[in-house]
Structure 1
Amino acid sequence: MSSSPPPPPQWVLDLKSTPSSKPKSSFPDPPGYTAPLSAKQRAQSSKTAVRQPPTEEDMDTLKMKKAWELAIAPAKQLPMNAIGMYMTGNTLQIFSIFMVFTLFKTPILAVIALQRTFAPFETPGTSGRLLGVKAVYILTNLLALSLGIWKVNQMGLLPTTRSDWLAWEGERTWSERAVPREWL
């Protein structure tokens, strides 16, 4: 008596069969859904819709938008830098000194490299409009620099009190004394 193996389960047959072009569903497509195009439909649509190259004015507008994004980028970093300065405390530690050094170094180097930074955006159509963008870039970097100066002051490293300058102060001359000078 020979017995044949049982037929495979339905899920095995479903995995081995090729998928249908569209799943059988009684639900309609959601609003805004477009079915993928077949290769033939894609070829026809690519022949009819040829992308026009952007005009010079469009490129200038896009370059100005990117230049403004670059100009306000240092201002976007200010809140994170301020939180970092607050978290390091006011004591002299290697971490707080490193953070303050970075706060001074980054804006200074950014202002020095100003022309190189905005060189990709320079065209005859944008050269006049880039002056305002560059001024905003310098101002945002000065804000970062002022955050570094504030932190150095909080750490007590800026000479802001009279006692910080005692080495350069002369001896006081008294107009009258309670005891003669020879007794002192």
Structure 2
Amino acid sequence: MSNYSEILKPRIIPISYSKTDVPPPPGYSESVFSTTTKSQTSSGKKAKHDDAELNALKSKKIWELAIGPAKSIPMNLFMSYMTGNSLQVISVTMTLMLLWNPIKAIFNETNPTFSKLSTKNNGSEIILAKLVFIICQVFNMCIGVYKLYKMGLIPHQEADWLAWKEPKRFIDRLYY
């Protein structure tokens, strides 16, 4: 019962603005939360190690963001297969979203996404990652274009262009 005495018999502690009036909470250890020693802060190796580690983490994050659209390619292929090639609201909407979302991502998300991770050393890596990001988005758009082709919404046969084709002229002569 002595362990629960604070809960069973609470006491009101007056508000104090000095740090010495309030006792530390139960289980608090000053040594656990102590600041780093002077030898650790004066060491240049630790700072350089942290910078190298931070650059490695930024590089890893850059490539995760660049390859992110490629992770949705299998799902988009499966969904376009499952919706079929008939002209229905769901299949047309999904196909238009396959075209619109990559365009929107290329123009609105490419620079803001990668600018947060840029440093003075990784400029060429960011350009390459942006290129991979754009290629993955274009591949998602290609899935949408292929789906439009299979649905028959992209003109690709001669019959689709008959309105612009010149009619054949026949000579109306009869020979006896």
- TM-score when scaled to structure 1? 0.67
**Partner letter of residue 122 of structure 2?**
T
Pairwise CA distance, 1:42: 9.7
Pairwise CA distance, 1:70: 0.7
1:180 partnered with 2:173 = yes
Pairwise CA distance, 1:173: 3.0
Q: Point out the structure with max Rg over C-alpha.
A: 1
Pairwise CA distance, 1:155: 0.5
Summarize the alignment of residues 22-171 of structure 1 with structure 2, pairs less than 5 Å apart. Answer: 43=31, 55-113=50-108, 114-171=110-167
Q: Percent same amino acid among aligned pairs?
A: 33
| Equivalent residue, structure 1, for 2:24 | none
Cα deviation, 1:67-100, whole Å, max 9, x if unaligned, reads: 1011111111011111111111111111111111
Between 1:152-161 and 1:51-60, the stretch displaced more is 51-60
Gaps of 5+ in 1: 1-15, 19-38
Pairwise CA distance, 1:43: 4.0
**Partner letter of residue 146 of structure 1?**
C
Structure 2 CA distance for partners of 1:46 and 1:166, relative to 1, 3 Å:
same
Pairwise CA distance, 1:172: 1.1
Pairwise CA distance, 1:119: 1.1
Structure 2 CA distance for partners of 1:48 and 1:57, relative to 1, 3 Å:
closer
Structure 2 CA distance for partners of 1:180 and 1:142, relative to 1, 3 Å:
same
Aligned residues: 143
Aligned to 1:124, what secondary structure does the other structure show?
Answer: coil
State the alpha-carbon separation in 2 of the partners of residues 93 and 170 from structure 1. Answer: 33
Gaps of 5+ in 2: 4-26
**Partner letter of residue 166 of structure 1?**
L
Pairwise CA distance, 1:45: 9.8
State the alpha-carbon separation in 2 of the partners of residues 47 and 116 from structure 1. Answer: 36
Aligned to 1:122, what secondary structure does the other structure show?
Answer: coil
Pairwise CA distance, 1:180: 2.2
Please provide the CA RMSD for this pair. Answer: 2.8
Structure 2 CA distance for partners of 1:133 and 1:162, relative to 1, 3 Å:
same
Structure 2 CA distance for partners of 1:44 and 1:167, relative to 1, 3 Å:
closer
Between 1:89-98 and 1:136-145, the stretch displaced more is 89-98
Cα deviation, 1:124-159, whole Å, max 9, x if unaligned, reads: 111121111111101100100000000000110000
State the alpha-carbon separation in 1 of the partners of residues 165 and 155 from structure 2. Answer: 14
